[in-house]
């Protein structure tokens, strides 16, 4: 797919930190051609996108008009605007209506039928009728705790259970991420805001992994709890007093009846003692994969979006998941 004489034409839709990183990466690839950039931020509109990502101008002006997709005629749109399918459904149907394939960082798109079956069917019909494909992916969800262990399951004759863990140091992340995990809040403030804090996509990861392993799950549960600082901590962006929240623990299980078949733990804290990604498959043979230091969330998400482009362009029309497309690999 990368040997085509013509590079695939790409438009970046949504230019927050992840969208800009993905646009910049796509622009650097000889087998891709960044031809447009779309965002509603007045500080970006009308300016060169190369300057927005911190380089010299690249000749692509940011537009706030999605109808420009018709004239730009990209093969694929990299979509990075929101975590939630109900928020982006109008954007996605507009993009597919312009006959563009989509790779999106929307977390709920990893396994969209779990929470939004009606919207998933609507998007599938829209994409199918337009002859294009839509895929949700990223690093988490999209790689470390779902697609990667699902791929590893191919080496097993039987599987009894899958356990995935991701521990990361939030001190090295952006301020919005630190706020997302509740760092600096009191425990009482955390509890008040708990439904809006933490990771989006954990349930979708469990659903994908359960399907990949043939577990026929009938129950998916998730819990959220604060991780409290035992002593004062500080990052570049905020200070955390002893007794206040330094991060979050999201945990989830996928079960059939009373049998837990998938376990996921995501711990994101300032002052993390050890960063790692881990997947353990209990089966025949058993497998244990551990990545010391973990996978960088922002850079790896941008890379997954870009490296998934050839696969989704070649995929059958409709709403797809990471189980439907070829194994992504590096795009040059």
Give pLDDT tens digits for 14-32: 999 999 999 999 999 999 9
The per-residue pLDDT for 173 is 86
Q: How much is the mean pLDDT over the chain?
A: 96
Tokens 């509109």 belong to residue: 45
Residue 241 has pLDDT above 60, yes or no: yes
Rounded distance, CA 207 to CA 215, Å?
Answer: 10
* Share above pLDDT 70 across residues of the chain, in percent, rounded to a whole number: 98
The per-residue pLDDT for 239 is 95
Output Rg (C-alpha) for the chain, integer angstroms.
Answer: 20
Residue 1 has pLDDT above 50, yes or no: no
pLDDT band at 172 (very low <50, low <70, confident <90, very high): confident
Q: Which helix (H) or strand (E) holds 304?
A: helix 297-307
Q: Which CATH class is domain 8-139+300-320?
A: alpha beta
62 compared with 198, residue with greater pLDDT = 62
DSSP, residue by residue, 66-100: TTHHHHH--SEEEE-S-S-HHHHHHHHHHHHHTT-
The per-residue pLDDT for 4 is 52
The per-residue pLDDT for 44 is 97
CB 250 within 8 A of CB 202: yes
Residue 297 has pLDDT above 90, yes or no: no
Q: Cα–Cα distances in Å, from 97 out to 23, 51, 66, 183? A: 22, 30, 11, 41
CATH label, 147-295, candidates 3.30.360, 3.30.1460, 1.10.3470, 1.10.1760: 3.30.360
Least confident interval from 23-27, 98-102, 132-136, 191-195: 191-195
The per-residue pLDDT for 255 is 99
The residue among 129, 125, 97, 92 whose CA lies nearest residue 109 is 92
User: Domain limits of the chain?
Assistant: 8-139+300-320, 147-295
Query: pLDDT digit string (tens) for 199-208?
Result: 999 999 999 9
The per-residue pLDDT for 28 is 97
Rounded distance, CA 11 to CA 77, Å?
Answer: 5
Its pTM surpasses 0.85: yes
The per-residue pLDDT for 24 is 98
* Share above pLDDT 90 across residues of the chain, in percent, rounded to a whole number: 95
The mean per-residue pLDDT over the stretch 184-210 comes to 95
**Is 8-139+300-320's fold the same as 147-295's?**
no
Residue 36 has pLDDT above 90, yes or no: yes
Within 10 angstroms of residue 311's Cβ, the number of other Cβ atoms is: 22
Query: pLDDT digit string (tens) for 73-97?
Result: 999 999 999 999 999 999 999 999 9
Rounded distance, CA 77 to CA 19, Å?
Answer: 11
């Amino acid at each position: 797919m990368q040997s085509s004489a013509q590079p695939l034409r790409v438009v970046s839709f949504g230019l927050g930190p992840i969208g800009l990183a993905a646009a910049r990466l796509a622009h650097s690839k000889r087998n891709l051609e960044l031809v447009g950039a779309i965002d509603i931020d007045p500080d970006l509109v009308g300016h060169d996108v190369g300057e927005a990502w911190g380089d010299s101008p690249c000749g692509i002006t940011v537009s706030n008009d999605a109808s420009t997709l018709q004239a730009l005629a990209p093969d694929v749109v990299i979509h990075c605007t929101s975590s939630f399918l109900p928020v982006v459904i109008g954007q996605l149907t507009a993009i597919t209506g312009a006959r563009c394939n989509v790779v999106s960082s929307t977390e709920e798109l990893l396994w969209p039928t779990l929470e939004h079956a009606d919207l998933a069917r609507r998007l599938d019909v829209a994409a199918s009728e337009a002859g294009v494909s839509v895929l949700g992916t990223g690093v988490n969800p999209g790689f470390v705790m779902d697609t990667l262990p699902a791929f590893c399951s191919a080496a097993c004759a039987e599987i009894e259970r899958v356990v995935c863990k991701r521990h990361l140091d939030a001190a090295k992340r952006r301020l919005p991420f630190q706020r997302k995990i509740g760092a600096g809040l009191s425990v009482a403030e955390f509890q008040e805001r708990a439904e809006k804090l933490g990771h989006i996509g954990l349930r979708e990861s469990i659903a994908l992994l359960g399907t990949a392993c043939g577990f026929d799950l009938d129950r998916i549960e998730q819990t959220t709890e604060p991780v409290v600082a035992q002593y004062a901590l500080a990052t570049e962006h905020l200070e955390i007093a002893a007794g206040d929240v330094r991060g979050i623990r999201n945990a989830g299980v996928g079960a059939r009846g009373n049998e837990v078949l998938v376990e996921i733990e995501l711990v994101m804290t300032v002052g993390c003692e050890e960063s790692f990604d881990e997947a353990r498959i209990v089966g025949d043979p058993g497998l244990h994969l551990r990545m010391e230091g973990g996978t960088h969330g922002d850079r790896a998400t941008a890379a997954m979006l870009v490296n998934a482009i050839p696969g989704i362009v070649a995929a059958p029309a409709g709403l797809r998941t990471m189980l439907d497309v070829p194994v992504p690999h590096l795009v040059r």
